[in-house]
Chain A
């Protein structure tokens, strides 16, 4: 019963993108905009996955390289590389992905819980796995992805 209940909450529209050959999905409501890769100003003394900041229409937005956040080696940016600006609480953050695919409407019956891989792998950042469209899409909880204490301090410091 609880599985069904949680599955219903996860159904909806997702923006799918590709990262290192894998398909991922983000809740569309959390996406603010998508743009091509821009010049990034590095900020010293930040973790390696924090690439820096960019200027989007007069706003300073921090940029995270999702590959590095996931521990995947980074790669050269191509013309398909995109920045997806997402909302994490009240704050906007940009994530770098290899390629943006499409917006998919995923129904509850297509969503499964992610299998337990054991202690080694941290799966709380994954909302579930979708088999819609004939391929496996990993649905991410973006606030948890960009989290580990960062989100809580994000909210606390926010005006």
Chain B
């Protein structure tokens, strides 16, 4: 009962406006009532509530440094007290937690020990008061008589130590170490890490928005709140170094709030640096053992110095690397589209950028462990398979029992929907990735001295969580290229009549079962002739070969190819784009480049919606069934009579539209018996991966279906040509073919090079094989 009431107070306090004195007074009286009626509560609980009531009174009397902050602390105190309201006095954990809360509240009611020295009287005055309150309470359980003693002495030491604590801990904390208190509650710490990292991300995004729109009060407030909350909780958990940093960062933002400064230029730099350092320190906490010393990041002290007095250190609104760079704008326009998210669908209306940035996730959500999520998704997948085994059973299919057939069908519908929902659970919006890119563009723009406008579109587009990490590096590389080589600098652009501020646009959307990500820059575009010339020079292709635009631009993905005249440390070495392509193809996706000289370049990534499911064609060879993912299939055809020839020595070629392609027989590569050996009776499938093509002979195609990819297990480590397995509708296993592996397998066993058409001088033509 008490617990519920206290939790209710906590909730009400959350909703109250710090300036609404009347509401607070009313809440306080109700709380006081509950406090008076407390029976059988531990002395710690009573003590905490007393302090909470005093704190609220201070807010009402305008006697606090920061009303909002005080209320926050009271909310936390009441929430924790609620937890222990009905618990025995001698629970050690309750004493510890409440002790902390008590300490925090007391320090609030007296000046902050870190900022100023506490007034002489107040600590002593309170210590006896605290102990008298505790000692005078008669507690029913005999053993708990000792507990109050511990509590009072501990509270006393904590209290009188608040003044000396910062000095004591300063002693323990040498130049680059700080202590993680051994009383730290690891669970609370974990929550702190998660939530703070989230807040930093939000804050950073707001900072970037502010750079182009420095008067936006809501953004300033957003960042201020971020630092403020981190400071509060860090203080609560005795994370002194973090608290100190966030405190100074908060001060800077406070000056902006008051209109004294604008968060641009040097101030923006400082704020962003603070975000980075906080992020580093907080991530470093994860897994740390209480009682150990942690290293302060390099430049921590430097940043503190800069934040303490920015102007003295030379930071100001206009101090930047160059005047041009300060013109850098980073803006994100977001179109919300309905893409059927699990949370019930995003709104269809066009939302303004400001609105989005300050309240990106309106829907409620909960945290779920990823392990559980994955198990759920696996189970849903197995359910689909089990169902299809039932559905394909003869008893169901032959129609003898219509009721059974109907029921099985009904089950199927439900299961398919469940499967869709489970699949959707794996999806996360690209927003996080796009945000990272935003920061990257800003930093790169300043370094390269170019003014850049960065636009994102469709960042609520969702992609499989497992793919998010994998596309990060390719995107980073592509953006580096765009900024480094694509965009011209200020003068060049002016001279050619372009908008001096370059635009880089990152766009994502769903299309035909794929996630499409486009990166566009309006820079100088790709020089087709140069690329082809370089490729011929490097021996990647032979001269005189006719290339479509797509093929020509596709050459930039060849390893070692770079037409950059100078290599910067950002890019230019020619080892990037091939890695980009192979990373994307590893995800069963494709990359394409298009460009217009002088106007810009667009790189398009096409990725499957999820890595768990493969849209594949079912190929038959002998009795066996294989699955080949559709993205790697260029085309399929039945060879015309006379189009098959053998090249002297080894190998067969098939001609298609004037081109000769080496033909490989799958039954040969895999040693399968009873397969179709006559190409004219079988089917040729053209596969393509990493720019290489290969023609495969199979018996036939037995359909196209979406299958759940099952790993074959580590035992089959590197089976060439096979990347996994899938359970087909009839319960059999179909091996999923790996296009690149197959191409390698095939070419290693033949002497013919792949990309060039067969160059042999002697060709025997056969009418039948």
The size of the chain B interface, using a CB distance under 8 A, is 27
Which listed residue (A42, A58, A60) contacts B713, Cβ 8 A?
A60
Highest count of chain A CB atoms <10 Å: which of B719, B720, B734: B719
Q: Is the CB of B714 within 8 A of A158?
A: yes
Docked Cα-Cα span, A50 to B714, in Å, equals 13
Q: Is the CB of A150 within 8 A of B725?
A: no
A-B contact pairs, 19 of them (CB 8 A): A39-B732, A41-B733, A41-B735, A42-B624, A43-B712, A44-B719, A45-B719, A46-B719, A53-B733, A55-B733, A58-B386, A59-B382, A60-B711, A60-B725, A91-B714, A91-B715, A153-B714, A154-B714, A158-B714
- Which B-chain residue is minimally distant from A39 (CB atoms)? B732
Q: Is the interface of B mostly helix, strand, loop or mixed?
A: mixed
- Chain B residue numbers with a CB within 8 Å of A26 are none
B362 within 8 A of A: no
One digit per residue, 1 when the CB lies within 8 angstroms of any chain A CB and 0 when it does not, for chain B 605-637 equals 000000000000000000010000000000000
Contact A60-B715, Cβ < 8 Å, known A43-B735, A44-B669, A53-B725: no
A145 within 8 A of B: no
A93 within 8 A of B: yes
- Which A-chain residue is minimally distant from B670 (CB atoms)? A44
Docked Cα-Cα span, A11 to B714, in Å, equals 31
Task: Report the minimum CB–CB distance from A139 to chain B (whole Å).
Answer: 23
Docked Cα-Cα span, A153 to B721, in Å, equals 20
Task: Report the minimum CB–CB distance from A83 to chain B (whole Å).
Answer: 14
Docked Cα-Cα span, A116 to B423, in Å, equals 56
The size of the chain A interface, using a CB distance under 8 A, is 26
8 A Cβ contacts from B266-323 to A: none
Q: Is the CB of B382 within 8 A of A58?
A: yes
A54 within 8 A of B: yes
- Chain B residue numbers with a CB within 8 Å of A62 are 712-713, 715-716
B346 within 8 A of A: no
Q: Is the CB of B669 within 8 A of A60?
A: no
Task: Report the minimum CB–CB distance from B736 to chain A (whole Å).
Answer: 11
Docked Cα-Cα span, A32 to B624, in Å, equals 29
Task: Report the minimum CB–CB distance from A45 to chain B (whole Å).
Answer: 5
Docked Cα-Cα span, A55 to B386, in Å, equals 11
- Which A-chain residue is minimally distant from B708 (CB atoms)? A58
- Which B-chain residue is minimally distant from A156 (CB atoms)? B714
Q: Is the CB of A41 within 8 A of B725?
A: yes
Docked Cα-Cα span, A60 to B728, in Å, equals 12
8 A Cβ contacts from A114-143 to B: none
- Chain B residue numbers with a CB within 8 Å of A39 are 732
Contact A41-B381, Cβ < 8 Å, known A46-B716, A55-B727, A157-B714: no
One digit per residue, 1 when the CB lies within 8 angstroms of any chain B CB and 0 when it does not, for chain A 81-95 equals 000000000011100
Task: Report the minimum CB–CB distance from B261 to chain A (whole Å).
Answer: 50
Contact A157-B717, Cβ < 8 Å, known A41-B624, A41-B725: yes
Highest count of chain B CB atoms <10 Å: which of A46, A60, A156: A60
